[in-house]
Structure 1
Amino acid sequence: MSGVISGFTVIFIVVGIGYILGRTRVLGDGAHGVLSRLVFFVSTPALLFYSLVTTDLSVIFSSTLVIAGGCALAIGAVYAVIARLWLHRTIAELTIGAMASSYVNSVNLGLPIAIFVLDDASFIAPLLLFQILVYSPIALVALDATSAEKGSGSSTLRNAVVGPITNPIVVGGVAGLVVSLIGVTPPHAVLAPLKMLGDASVPAALLAFGLSLTGVAVFKKGHSPRRDIALATVLKMIAMPALVYIVARWGFGETGSHLFAQVVIAALPTAQNVLVFATRYRQAEIMARDTALITTVASIPVIMIISVLLA
């Protein structure tokens, strides 16, 4: 239980610092956009490349990959269908909403919980790599294609094809996977600066999240898309852990610590990277921000309940 509290304390402190920086305007009025672009174009690609090059990829070929990845895609698809039929959202809005309902905060909260609560960081690795190599590229392809629709003629076709494959996050993940698969270890002089830049990804994303909260009211009537946020929150905090429990328990026969780990991972809140993506493409930013904050708060009692029931 102390690991859960410790993990959330780290997040709230850094987000709080970002909020204070926003309130005092120490970094200027455009700090949120600048930090978000830094995370999107530099820090996250560097983090993905370094993580994949230095990680034993055999850990991803496990039941956790199938369970966590499959359930995440399923919950995201459920959100997209409901939001399309009920709320009539655009493809870009559906993409951000689907990620908000199923894209797990696997780094800045997932790793501390995996270490302190589950006592094994390898539990989070399959989901982290799935989100890097599968989920993010799918979402970014949809967002890039949607952005390309604003063009015309040959430029639209060119942007729709070239945009996704030149996306820095996709490039970083694919490059890291290729280097890892061929067994080449880059020299220290190359890995060291990538690690340095990658280490900035999580704190910068959290600071950007705190900056985005400045001067706004979360879940404000008439301003926030409350139905979208409520739908994403319910799916993330209730439906996803329940689905993972069902699939892991009766689909794969898992029990004990493995079952507990699967459900705890599914109950992690929405990743702040969803807000980074939303800011980059200027789509559903309020929805991404509010869902990330609400699920972060809600995940505390949810994970504690899971710990009491399954630990």
Structure 2
Amino acid sequence: MTLAVFYKLVAIFLTAGLGWIVGRMRWLGNERQGADPARTLSNAAFYIFVPALLFRTTARLDYAHLPWGLIVAFFVPVVGLAIVVYVVERHRNRGGRLSVAAPSVRAVSASFGNTLQIGVPMAAALFGEAGLGLHITIVSMHSLTLLTVLTTLAELDLARARARHEEAGGGSLLSTLKLTVRNTIIHPVVLPVLAGMAWNFTGWRLPPVVDEVLQQLGAAVVPLCLTLIGMSLAYNGLRGGLRGAVKLSAMKLLVLPAVVLVVAHWGFGLAGLPLQVAVMMAALPAGSNTLMFSQRYETLESETTSTIVLSTLAFAATAPLWLAVLALVD
């Protein structure tokens, strides 16, 4: 592991540690007295800062010059594994022991990586400017692809649950369908993506003032999410979801990069620098946005927090492992 990546890991833990102190000291309020400051901050991230980041990203993407071979070779196995995790968890949750959104939340934890705080310095240190450019290309599509797919699956599960309830109460199936479509599109993840794409296709550039506002709002996502991780740890601890977190961390750090390596290399013929960038991006620990996703659906928040912390710690050991594997493949 390079010194730059190590420093980023330390910075992540220090920022999350600050959030833990804030939560432990109850500086923003006491969640036991009806006010939940962590959820308030999470809602601010989900409804203000993340939509700004997603809209600006999609509005500025140059779709014509993206390396689509690399993008397809990366996202086919990543989205495929996320859907497999979702299907397995949905089957296990048939009895309704957990929230109907639990399968989607666990699928996010198993597939969504920390592509910015750890991924960018890792790519720059290991692969230089050329590798960093490829990494940034995947990053530009990362949240748009994974969060949109898994948000849609979560909303469909919630809609099915509502439909069963309304059928029992004599509700209209048509009204349930309309509500499902509305909740899937008018959503703080999906809507800014669609709006950004629509703006992009007009060929217009974002006005400088608007672009600056969106950039400033989007810049708040990373520190806010890291602070939320620390606050969640202060409120819930690690023990509540430790067993699930160990499994999800192993899925994220070991299974996902293995699947990307096999599919991208032997399935799509990816080799050299693009293959190395794709595999090491898949090998990143769980991203902080996964906690925001779980808080959005009020599901498995303790397990998600534990997964982020454990996978980030374990990344120090698994990253050199995958670099050694890639040296053998190439």
What secondary structure is seen at the aligned counterpart in 1 of 2:57?
Answer: helix
1:1-311 equivalent positions in 2, closer than 5 A: 1-29=2-30, 30-58=36-64, 60-86=66-92, 88=94, 91-119=100-128, 120-148=131-159, 149-150=161-162, 152=166, 153-154=171-172, 156-218=176-238, 220=239, 223-224=240-241, 226=243, 228-310=244-326
CA 1:131 to 1:262, structure 2 compared with 1: closer, same or farther past 3 Å? closer
What letter matches 1:13 in structure 2?
L
Identity of aligned residues (%): 28
Partners of 2:118 and 2:69 in 1: CA distance: 22
Please tell me whether the aligned partners of residues 93 and 284 of structure 1 are also in contact (alpha carbons under 8 angstroms). Answer: yes
CA 1:58 to 1:112, structure 2 compared with 1: closer, same or farther past 3 Å? farther
Please tell me whether the aligned partners of residues 241 and 300 of structure 2 are also in contact (alpha carbons under 8 angstroms). Answer: no
Cα deviation for residue 69 of structure 1 reads: 0.8
Cα deviation for residue 84 of structure 1 reads: 4.0
268-277 vs 128-137, which deviates more?
128-137
Structure 2: gaps of 5 or more residues:
31-35
CA 1:84 to 1:231, structure 2 compared with 1: closer, same or farther past 3 Å? farther
Cα deviation for residue 258 of structure 1 reads: 2.4
What letter matches 1:234 in structure 2?
A
Please tell me whether the aligned partners of residues 46 and 198 of structure 1 are also in contact (alpha carbons under 8 angstroms). Answer: yes
What letter matches 1:2 in structure 2?
L
Please tell me whether the aligned partners of residues 74 and 264 of structure 2 are also in contact (alpha carbons under 8 angstroms). Answer: no
Please tell me whether the aligned partners of residues 16 and 227 of structure 2 are also in contact (alpha carbons under 8 angstroms). Answer: yes
CA 1:301 to 1:118, structure 2 compared with 1: closer, same or farther past 3 Å? same
What TM-score results when the alignment is normalised by the length of structure 2? 0.84
What letter matches 1:101 in structure 2?
A
Partners of 1:285 and 1:205 in 2: CA distance: 13
What TM-score results when the alignment is normalised by the length of structure 1? 0.89
Partners of 1:215 and 1:34 in 2: CA distance: 14
How far does the alpha carbon of each residue in 1:127-158 deviate from its partner, in whole angstroms, 9 at most, with x for none? 33433333212211222233443474355333
Cα deviation for residue 308 of structure 1 reads: 4.2
Please tell me whether the aligned partners of residues 73 and 102 of structure 1 are also in contact (alpha carbons under 8 angstroms). Answer: yes
